[in-house]
Amino acid sequence: MREVLLLARRAVREIYRLPAATISAVFIPVFFMVVNIGQVNKIFSPDTPFLHGQHYVAFQVPVSLVFAVSTVTSGLAMVTDIDIGYTDKLLAAPIRRTAIVWGRLAADLVRGTAVSALVLFVGFLLGARVRSGVVGVVLLILLSALWGMAYAGIAMAIALKSKNVQTTNASFIVFFPLLFLTPNFVPLELLAGPLRTLARFNPVTYVITGLRDLVLFPSIHWGSLGACALTIGLTGVVLTFLSLRALSQIAE
């Protein structure tokens, strides 16, 4: 645990010293949120049934939260460590090799918490309200940060496998189909048949839906919340396993 904390502290310092990646992670989702709201603001009024009396921004906030934390920053940082030889030093050091991955993931949790809080604050400024109260706000930030931590595994696995900046950076493209094949503009039941079918098999759908229910409803919907948490957990297990496996192949 001490090794993980030390490596996580180093990774967090990198975030503080190089804020450009974090700023872009916030700017792009907020930009899309503002543009989407501007385009459909007069189409979906608070009287629209699926908005439950809220402004459309409340429907878009969960999408922006997921978008903001799904980055390849840790993967790019991992490639940098490989290029400068720091990873080789860690592999030669008397530490658990798994700490190399877990340290990065812990830093992603810290970054995801800060980014989620900031995006949610912007949503508040634009008129969104979290109907489930303080508990809902805490769960929104925590679950968003945990999703960012879980999803970071795919970029790290690609980074460790390819050891290439361009390939790792291009892995962000994977997220766009996952994001847009979801009920991100309207509820699942309003999607066209084929798209609705694809959305049902898309894990990001259950993350967004779980977060959205916290925003739109005063009481917690345990079914959607449980599906959201389960999706995050399974994604984290699978992608972290792939990262650890890729690291072990480097160490051999």
With cut-offs at 50, 70 and 90, classify the pLDDT of residue 251. low
Instruction: Name the percent of the chain lying above pLDDT 90.
Output: 38
Cα–Cα distances in angstroms (integers) from residue 201 to residues 181, 182, 204, in the given order: 9, 9, 9
Length of the chain: 252
Instruction: Name the percent of the chain lying above pLDDT 70.
Output: 97
User: What is the rounded average pLDDT of the residues 175-185?
Assistant: 86
Question: Which among 10, 1, 174, 185 is positioned nearest to 80, based on CA atoms?
Answer: 10
- Supply the pLDDT for residue 41: 73
- Supply the pLDDT for residue 81: 81
Cβ(99)–Cβ(3) under 8 Å?
yes
Q: Is the pLDDT at 124 greater than 90, yes or no?
A: yes
Q: 222 exposed, middle or buried (CB, 10 Å; 0-12, 13-18, 19+)?
A: exposed
Query: Could you read off the pLDDT of 219-249 as tens digits, one per residue?
Result: 999 999 999 999 999 999 999 999 988 888 7
Question: Which among 141, 186, 189, 175 is positioned nearest to 36, based on CA atoms?
Answer: 186
Core vs surface per residue 120-158: b (16+ CB within 10 A) or e? bebbeebebbbbbeeebbebbbebbbbbbbbbbbbbbbb
With cut-offs at 50, 70 and 90, classify the pLDDT of residue 100. confident
CA 233 remoteness from chain centre: 13
Domain that holds residue 24: 2-251
Q: Is the pLDDT at 252 greater than 70, yes or no?
A: no
Count of structural domains, the chain:
1
- Supply the pLDDT for residue 97: 80
User: What is the rounded average pLDDT of the residues 115-122?
Assistant: 93
CA 74 remoteness from chain centre: 12
Q: Is the pLDDT at 147 greater than 80, yes or no?
A: yes
Q: Which residue has the higher pLDDT, 59 or 252?
A: 59
Highest mean pLDDT among 17-26, 36-45, 70-79: 70-79
Q: Is the pLDDT at 27 greater than 90, yes or no?
A: no
